[in-house]
Copies of this chain bind each other. A is one copy, B any other.
Amino acid sequence: MSQNGELRSRILEQARILLLKEGYSAVSMRKIAKAVGCTPTSIYIYFDNKDALIHALIEEGMEKLHGALVAAVQEHVDPRQRFAGICLAFLQFGIQNPAYYEIMFLLHPEKMKRYPTDKYRRARRNLELFADTLREARTDCSFDPMLSATVLWSLLHGSISLLLAQRVDVGIPTAVFLDQVVAHASAMLFPTSS
């Protein structure tokens, strides 16, 4: 099984590298093949088409992100610290894996028409992680965890997007910005911070 996939994983690897170096729109079957050292045709042995290849990459990324989030959750016992930890983990994943982040969250649906939408369920898993963390940290029941988690996700996603698109003022150091995002996230979700 893993034997078969030697070339397969090399293809994924080079695709990831290309994605990182030149951006999604520059990733072509031809370039991947050249980087790997095989012919474009060979790629079609392992992937039905370009989208399938990208999907595989997305899945890889989802796995990696989920791992990072779970690790962050397990690292802290204090609910509030756990919350801050998971936020930071998400942010850092985005900053440190811009290639993954791009195809996972920034690619537009029209480009990926054939993407099996049910696979997004895995993305849901991450959202539920956020919701769970919120549930633990907030004792009051006067909020909808999934809804708040979605808003939180929006904030984190927006922050990463702006950073990756180099839209955040250069006068603001990235580290400072990330800290502020987490601080604001806390303020947003735990209002009675008296």
Residues of A at under 8 Å CB distance from B? 22-26, 102, 105-111, 120, 123-124, 127, 146-148, 150-151, 153-159, 161-162, 165-169, 172, 176-177, 180-181, 184-185, 187-189, 191-194
Give the Cβ gap from A91 to chain B, nearest Cβ, in Å: 10
**Given A124-B169, A147-B180, A150-B172; 19 other pairs, CB 8 A cutoff:** A22-B110, A24-B108, A25-B25, A25-B108, A25-B110, A25-B111, A105-B167, A106-B108, A108-B165, A147-B176, A148-B180, A150-B169, A153-B158, A155-B184, A157-B158, A158-B158, A158-B161, A187-B191, A188-B188
Task: Check A26 against B110 for contact (C-beta < 8 Å).
Answer: yes
Most interface-central of A24, A102, A146, A157 (chain B CB within 10 A): A157
Number of copies: 4
Give the Cβ gap from A44 to chain B, nearest Cβ, in Å: 10
| The 5 nearest A-B residue pairs measured at CB | A158-B158, A188-B188, A154-B158, A23-B110, A157-B158
Q: How long is the Cα–Cα vector from A75 to B120 in the complex, in angstroms?
A: 40
Which of B23, B102, B162 contacts A157 (CB under 8 A)? B162
Q: Would A177 and B147 be within 8 Å (CB), given that A153-B158, A162-B154 are in contact?
A: yes
Most interface-central of A154, A155, A167, A172 (chain B CB within 10 A): A154
Q: Would A159 and B167 be within 8 Å (CB), given that A25-B110, A187-B187 are in contact?
A: no
Task: Check A172 against B193 for contact (C-beta < 8 Å).
Answer: no
Which of B26, B158, B191 contacts A156 (CB under 8 A)? B158
29 pairs, CB–CB < 8 Å, chain A vs chain B? A23-B108, A23-B110, A24-B108, A25-B110, A26-B110, A107-B165, A108-B165, A127-B169, A146-B172, A147-B176, A148-B180, A148-B184, A150-B172, A150-B177, A151-B177, A151-B184, A153-B162, A154-B155, A155-B155, A155-B158, A155-B184, A157-B161, A157-B162, A158-B159, A161-B161, A184-B188, A184-B189, A192-B194, A194-B194
